[in-house]
Structure 1
Amino acid sequence: MNFSGSTVVFAEIIVYIFLMLLVGVYFCRKDLDHADYFLGGNKLPGWALAFSERATGESAYMFLGAVGFIYTTGLSGIWILSGMFLGILFSWLVLAKRFMKETKKYNVYTLTDYIAVRFPNHSNVIRWFSSIIMVIFFTCYLAAQFSGVGKTLYSFSGLDITVGTVIIGFIIIAYSCMGGFMSVVWTDTIQSFLMLLAFIIVPIAGYFEIQQNGLSISTELTAMGNGADNWFGGLTGLALGAMLFTNLSWFFGWLGGQPQLSSRFMALKDEKELKTAQTVAIGWTLIVYVGAFLTAIFAAVIYKQGTIEDSEMILPHMVFDLLPPWVSGIIISGILAAIMSTASSQLLVITTSISEDIIHKAMGISMKSTTLVKISRLMVIFSGLVGIVISLASGSIIYNMVSFAWAGVGNTFSAIILLIFYWKKTSGTGVVVTIITGFLSAILWSISPLEAIVSAKASTFIICLIVGIFVSLYWPDKQRKTV
């Protein structure tokens, strides 16, 4: 890209970032109590919560990790998106309504708090273990987002990855700190439109490039080898089963266990807003997932394997190669939007885990609502700085980092939520043991040779579900009290 083109892109990104900061400043000027700061005070419209949940759910993983993965694997990469889409359908059509009702019934603000109040005799243990685990895994998840920021800026400007990570990291911290859940949801809403636009424009540009150069999609995919031209990757038997199970296992992480997503369900006001949100969320996902898949496949046809040093940067490379600078700036803003929306939501998860679940509830420290908001803002700043440091120190691979966090939090707590919602015999002891099991399973399985056969995303969910059922039957609650 020439200097003038780079200047146009930078200018558009600066305008976008300035707009995000304005949203944070707007809500910072409002008198927010902790209900507003943590869950929006049930004042947000369903369509905005749907856009926010979708923008949060599709992070740097979708734009960089997933597109890069499909680019290198070919048609069989569709099973990852299929597993995720099925999970999203289930979460919005089945779980969202239950979350909305349970939140009002128990008057809670966080996923951890909800689990804790369902088991009063084990509430503090649940709060401590859940919060510690969420902080650990989501700090890694946050670091993956910051890495995505640095990579994206470097891809078109040559800006040092460290510098880019720090600059955008501080901006994310700033607007998350100022407005909490309210500012995060409204910035997410803007960001989701950019993400939608990106996955409409880029595949269209890729298709026209293929047509203009007289390329054959089937021929080029066949030339890639390794079953890239086959929907099942050329695999059969057990190998095929393992591949499908591993890729579809992303489904399990969408079953209510991701606190940054469940909070959007918890913030829904009524069934009317829920129906609107369901329509928006499912429609948005269909467009984005089809666009992401086509983008990756078209990229594989246009750019031979090995021509791009980092496969996770294929989308930015494609954007700058095929689109004029003013359009590229919009698309890159969309990529940054995906990263920033997820990072800001993860910051809030870490913050509420520490300030609300540990300091306020587990430790029983009483304080004014405004004081709790101030402490939460300090936690946002501290957690964000730690995430930046880890990102710079690890040089993380986005796909692996997100997959690891998905197993440790999403799959562990999805098993717990399903047990609580749909099995009355679930016990407090069963929940505590399941939390610990999920934490250990995600780590040990990920570093073992078994990860190459079946992903920790699948194994963690299944192990947690089995452990939760077994322990609850063996150690039932003698007197099950609920608030």
Structure 2
Amino acid sequence: METATLITFIVYLVAMLIIGLVSYKLTSNLSDYVLGGRSLGPGVTALSAGASDMSSWLLLGLPGLAYATGLDSIWMCVGLLIGAYLNWKFVASRLRSYTEVSNDSITVPDFFENRFKDRSRLLRVISALVILIFFTFYASSGLVGGALLFQETFGMTYNTALLIGAIVIISYTFLGGFLAVSWTDFFQGLLMFLALIVVPIIAIVDLGGWGETMDKVRQIDPSYLDAVDTMSGLGIISLMAWGLGYFGQPHIITRFMAIKSVEEVPKARFYGMTWMTISIVGAIVVGLVGIASFANDPLIVGDVDNSEKVFIFFADLLFNPWVSGILLAAILSAIMSTIDSQLLVSSSALAEDFYKALFRKNASDQELVWVGRIGVIVIALVSIILAYNGNPEKGGASVLDLVSYAWGGFGAAFGPVVIMSLYWKRMNRNGALAGMVTGAVTVVVWKQLTERGIIPFELYEIVPGFILAFVAIIIFSLIGREPKKVIKEEFNEAIEQDL
């Protein structure tokens, strides 16, 4: 274990905790804790949304996928870029205006209930349950990624590495809430961005240039550089379908709700898409260059788990311990920036959508903030248990597998409901409920049927989930009553503010 790398890590972690402490002083009520008082500027909104979106997938999962499959991975990236742009273009500003018009909604379940004037609380409770279930898996994936990082870097056991990473993340999310999460994500996003520019450039130079690098990849296997011939139609659809997930990710769309104003959204979209495009290209290049650098390395060849460590290997191989420490901190940034957002959204669901809505309607803001903080600890503990059982070295799921399941669950359960609630005035509560339940159940059932071989082909479960959720929304809305006058008036007001 290099002392310089350890010192760099410690300095980075202390800086994140300081941000948490400062944010603690600025957090006085539940709106501050959950949504930062709707005060984010476009830069912080964009980079915190991107960093919380990408997680360890960007520096571990995607480079590992590119290493294992070559340019086949580009289809996923194309789908993600299209989905992210459409999310910024059609959801961001209207969701910002609608959540404020609709009784100043501060969580996604809160918005669903207020949008459809659901006095039964079913929409709020079911959507909060979906958040808690899928975010527990999602946060678990990040903890697995963090454990792999500490394990590889410092020679720790998997379980020790898992606990250290979890303690740091829980600490600053517990203290500072949304402001801590957003500002740490902003700085983490910058660090991830720089790492994905520096590492592939230095690696390519080390191999003798781009042409020399690609020649080495072709010598190993020309199919690595073919993104078409080696892919089936369903395979391409499954990878591009990742883009559908954006419309339903609570930890991303809450950033849209928190931006200062609708007028700031175009700037945020530009910053966010620029960051995302360059970062994704850098991650793919890391994987491709890894093929040329590590193809004969026994640490990686034939080992699927180790393919997700390709960025870590480059950081160790090409840089001195001080720089390596910064680059490895970028991986930790990617992991932390997503888990903190997931823990915050989940704890918000516990405080606002269960505790206040069902048990303590007159609870004070301070009480709800502390319920949220306790929720962070409880949800994190469950995620730690899942991550403990998910040790990849003992046959557990990879980071990409865990992310894929949670991403598909949110995309199918919430995506169609969010889109239709913002753009279809005729949609009613029963349509929203039907869409949400249909999307979530389809993802779970389709995944199980595919794994058992009952469905004879592989198609990412978000595709049938997304389609069936849309169908359910339309059918149940049309056969039910038209929305009340007050709902239609609110819809029109939200549109006017969005124009």
Which TM-score band applies after superposition, normalised by the shorter structure? Answer: over 0.9
Which one-letter code corresponds to 1:438 in the other structure? Answer: G
Residue 445 of structure 2 is matched in structure 1 by: 444
Structure 1, unaligned runs of 5 or more = none
Residue 175 of structure 1 is matched in structure 2 by: 172
Distance in 2 (alpha carbons) for counterparts of 1:314 and 1:330: 16
Distance 1:213 1:56, change over 3 A: closer
The answer as to 2:369 corresponding to 1:368 is no
Which one-letter code corresponds to 1:262 in the other structure? Answer: I
CA drift at 1:306? 7.3
Alignment check: 8 A CA contact 2:109 2:125 kept: no
Distance 1:69 1:213, change over 3 A: closer
Which one-letter code corresponds to 1:462 in the other structure? Answer: I
Distance in 2 (alpha carbons) for counterparts of 1:305 and 1:431: 53
Distance 1:214 1:55, change over 3 A: closer
Distance in 2 (alpha carbons) for counterparts of 1:452 and 1:335: 34
Distance in 1 (alpha carbons) for counterparts of 2:483 and 2:437: 22
Residue 15 of structure 1 is matched in structure 2 by: 11
Match of 1:471 among 436, 460, 476: 476
Distance 1:147 1:272, change over 3 A: same
Structure 2, unaligned runs of 5 or more = 392-396, 491-499
Equivalent residues in 2 for 1:159-174, closer than 5 Å: 159-174=156-171
Residue 416 of structure 1 is matched in structure 2 by: 417
Aligned residues: CA RMSD: 1.9
Alignment check: 8 A CA contact 2:27 2:33 kept: no
CA drift at 1:167? 1.0
Report the identity percentage: 29
Match of 1:100 among 96, 109, 117: 96
Distance in 2 (alpha carbons) for counterparts of 1:419 and 1:409: 15
Match of 2:197 among 192, 200, 207: 200
Distance in 1 (alpha carbons) for counterparts of 2:219 and 2:406: 34
Distance in 2 (alpha carbons) for counterparts of 1:12 and 1:40: 29
Which one-letter code corresponds to 1:100 in the other structure? Answer: R
Distance 1:480 1:302, change over 3 A: farther
Distance 1:473 1:451, change over 3 A: farther
CA drift at 1:63? 1.2
Residue 144 of structure 2 is matched in structure 1 by: 147
Which one-letter code corresponds to 1:246 in the other structure? Answer: S
Residue 131 of structure 2 is matched in structure 1 by: 134
Match of 2:274 among 275, 283, 292: 283
CA drift at 1:362? 4.2
Alignment check: 8 A CA contact 1:407 1:456 kept: yes
CA drift at 1:175? 0.4
Cα displacement string for residues 106-160 of structure 1 (whole angstroms, at most 9, x for unaligned residues): 1010111111111123650011111111101100000110000000111122111
Distance 1:459 1:21, change over 3 A: same
Which one-letter code corresponds to 1:34 in the other structure? Answer: L
Alignment check: 8 A CA contact 1:172 1:344 kept: yes
Match of 1:349 among 328, 332, 345: 345
CA drift at 1:92? 1.5
Equivalent residues in 2 for 1:203-218, closer than 5 Å: 203-211=200-208, 215-218=212-215
The answer as to 2:389 corresponding to 1:393 is yes
TM-score for both structures, normalised by structure 1: 0.94
TM-score for both structures, normalised by structure 2: 0.91
CA drift at 1:338? 0.5
Cα displacement string for residues 333-381 of structure 1 (whole angstroms, at most 9, x for unaligned residues): 0000010010000001110111111111244521111111111111111
Report the secondary structure of 1:463's partner residue: helix
Distance 1:476 1:299, change over 3 A: farther
Distance 1:437 1:214, change over 3 A: closer
Distance 1:354 1:480, change over 3 A: farther
Which one-letter code corresponds to 2:414 in the other structure? Answer: F
Equivalent residues in 2 for 1:218-237, closer than 5 Å: 218-221=215-218, 223-224=220-221, 227-235=223-231
Distance 1:141 1:166, change over 3 A: same
Cα displacement string for residues 411-466 of structure 1 (whole angstroms, at most 9, x for unaligned residues): 32111111111222222111112221122111111122348521112221112112
Match of 1:300 among 291, 309, 317: 291
Alignment check: 8 A CA contact 1:425 1:476 kept: no
Report the secondary structure of 2:464's partner residue: helix
Distance in 1 (alpha carbons) for counterparts of 2:245 and 2:47: 19
Q: How many positions carry a matched residue from both structures?
A: 473
Residue 191 of structure 1 is matched in structure 2 by: 188
Residue 406 of structure 2 is matched in structure 1 by: 405
CA drift at 1:229? 2.2
Distance in 1 (alpha carbons) for counterparts of 2:278 and 2:73: 17
Report the secondary structure of 1:121's partner residue: coil
Which one-letter code corresponds to 2:21 in the other structure? Answer: V
Match of 1:36 among 32, 44, 61: 32
Alignment check: 8 A CA contact 1:347 1:383 kept: yes
Equivalent residues in 2 for 1:82-121, closer than 5 Å: 82-106=78-102, 107-121=104-118
Alignment check: 8 A CA contact 2:27 2:177 kept: no
Match of 2:262 among 252, 268, 271: 271
Distance 1:213 1:342, change over 3 A: closer
Distance in 2 (alpha carbons) for counterparts of 1:271 and 1:118: 19
Alignment check: 8 A CA contact 1:428 1:477 kept: no
Distance in 2 (alpha carbons) for counterparts of 1:282 and 1:98: 18
Alignment check: 8 A CA contact 1:140 1:387 kept: yes
Alignment check: 8 A CA contact 1:111 1:259 kept: yes
Which one-letter code corresponds to 2:402 in the other structure? Answer: M
Report the secondary structure of 2:226's partner residue: coil
Which one-letter code corresponds to 1:135 in the other structure? Answer: L
Which one-letter code corresponds to 2:282 in the other structure? Answer: G
Distance 1:214 1:385, change over 3 A: same
Alignment check: 8 A CA contact 1:47 1:273 kept: no
Alignment check: 8 A CA contact 2:52 2:251 kept: yes
Report the secondary structure of 1:120's partner residue: coil
Report the secondary structure of 2:208's partner residue: helix
Alignment check: 8 A CA contact 1:75 1:230 kept: yes
The answer as to 2:266 corresponding to 1:247 is no
Match of 1:53 among 49, 52, 57: 49
